[in-house]
Amino acid sequence: MNLGVIASNRGTNLQAIVDACREKRLDAKVSVAISNNSKSLAILRARKAGIPAFHISEKTHPSPLDLDQAILNILNTHDVDFVVLAGYLKHMGKKTLLAFPKKVINIHPSLLPSYGGKGMYGRKIHEAVLKNRDTETGITIHYVDDGYDTGEIISQLRIPIDSSDSVTSLTNRILKQEHEFLIATLNCLISKERSCRNTV
């Protein structure tokens, strides 16, 4: 299984995938990484691991159609079978989604459909969860469609919230669990199990 990983910033989920492949906890290979941010840690992490990494954004391709085509070309050139959006803050183009039906997934740090949609990312999610005094939060992995965080849900991990939790503690705890949950879900998808909902 050749993976294409697309990320915008830190790239810790990309790193988790790279490490799991190297340590043979995941029977796959990251064959290419793409970022819309030329200065992202994600690009540095990929290159450090010897993975080809490309900066593709509205800066390199001002037309959305060209941008979509450029991403698709890179995925095809690197024989990608499956695409992981690991902290990619942009929309995927229609052409790429059509070329990879049910083969593009996204990880999101909330129990979707709650706390999803445009502008709901990072600390903003955890701030909203705490403001609403929710008693649990979690992680969702879903197929990507042309909306924001709206695709079919593949797996979810529920995470209890402690009364002492702050935005920072929640952010750190969830991110750590994302790394394990993403690998568990990818393993489930690779093994073609019928349902990955109870992956952990």
Phi/psi at 171 (5° precision) = -55, -50
- Residue 150 as a binder of ligand GRF (CB under 6 A): the answer is no
**Could you tell me the smallest distance in angstroms from the CB atom of residue 13 to ligand GRF?**
3
Name which position in 99, 175, 190, 200 contacts ligand GRF (CB under 6 A). 175
The residue among 74 and 86 lying less far from ligand GRF, judged by its C-beta, is 86
Instruction: Please identify which of the residues 108, 126, 142, 179 carries the catalytic annotation.
Output: 108
User: The tokens 């568990």 sit on which residue?
Assistant: 184
For residues 95 and 116, the answer to whether their CB atoms sit within 8 Å is no
- DSSP character for 198? T
The residue among 87 and 93 lying less far from ligand GRF, judged by its C-beta, is 87
Q: Strand runs (DSSP E) across 78-121, as ranges?
A: 82-85, 104-108
The residue among 55 and 66 lying less far from ligand GRF, judged by its C-beta, is 55
For residues 93 and 64, the answer to whether their CB atoms sit within 8 Å is yes
- Residue 1 as a binder of ligand GRF (CB under 6 A): the answer is no
Q: Is 9 annotated as a binding residue?
A: no
Structure tokens at 90: 């942009």
